[in-house]
Structure formats: C-alpha cells, structure tokens
Amino acid sequence: MKGNLKCPRCGSDGIQKARLLYEAGTSSIKMTSSGIGVTGGGSVGVGVATTTGGTQTELSQKLSPPTKPQRSTGLILGVFALIILGISYTIGALVGGKIVHSLFGIGFMSVGFFLIKSLEESLKKARAQYQVDYANWGRLWFCNRCGDTSYVE
C-alpha cells in the first residue's frame, strides 16, 4: 500500500478503500441474516434490519456500489402482450375482410416494437453508465478522520 495517500479534505493519511469497508460491512450482514433465517423463515429482510445497524453497517450502506440496472420483466411482458394483441387484432380484421381495422392492429404492433426498442436502448445507456459508476466506485476512498469520501487514483 502506498504510504502517501492522503485525504484531500483534511490531509489525514487514515483513509481506506470504500470497497474493502463495504465488503467488511456486507459480510457481517450476511452472518446476521443466516442466524435469523433459522427462526425467521420468510421474514429474513426484517430480521436483518432490526438486528444489525451498527456504524459499520451504516458505513457499508453509504459506501455501497452502484446498483446494476436490471431489465424490467413485467414491463417487457406487458409490451409483448400489446404486440400479441395487435397481431391477433390484425389477423381477425384481415380474416373478416376489414382492411382499415387491420391498420389499428398494425399500429398496436408498431407501438409495441417501438416501446421494446426504447426500453432496450435506455437499459443499454443505464448499463454503460453503471460501468462508469462502478469503475469510479473502485477508486472511492473513505477518510476515517473526517468521514469524507473522495476519489483517489
């Protein structure tokens, strides 16, 4: 470890990597929740919230990494339902000889495909941002003296 790392705010050299502090706090949470899991059954989350909560856990929360953006399955399924509705409406209209009505179905489908495309694009952007945030988090340091966090190369 480099000896010349100092807090940019107060000049203290008692700084630690946020990642290590976070992982130390996380492992203590896991130990607690496994103990609770024996008696608590499904209410593990509640057990964790009540039994932990020392300064380490709070610090761990403060220094937690960015959350990875997830694809919203419910939203995607909803949009797929819209597309399927559009397809069946279009087929029904075409079978019934109602060409104009089939355009509504095609409209539904187009909106559905457009929504999926924009959902995927925004997820892609969020994931790219997450990569940046995560890399930054790897450079985050915590000062034991003033409690300030800073990015150190």
Among 10, 31, 81, 91, binds Zn ion (CB under 5 A): 10
Options 29-37, 80-88, 120-128, 140-148: segment touching Zn ion (CB under 5 A): 140-148
Tell me 57's DSSP state.
H
Among 5, 6, 9, 104, binds Zn ion (CB under 5 A): 9
Question: Which residue number, 9 or 101, has a Cβ lying nearer to Zn ion?
Answer: 9
Options 47-55, 85-93, 119-127, 145-153: segment touching Zn ion (CB under 5 A): 145-153
H or E element that contains 52: none
Residues of span 12-41 touching Zn ion by CB under 5 A: 12
Q: With binding defined as CB under 5 A, does residue 143 bind Zn ion?
A: yes
CA distances from 29 to 38, 50, 68 (A): 15, 11, 20
Say if strands 140-143 and 149-151 run parallel, antiparallel, or are unpaired. antiparallel
* 105 in Cβ contact with 86 (< 8 Å): yes
Q: With binding defined as CB under 5 A, does residue 131 bind Zn ion?
A: no
C-beta neighbour count of 25 within 10 angstroms: 21
Residues within the interface to Zn ion (CB under 5 A):
7, 9-10, 12, 143, 145-146, 148
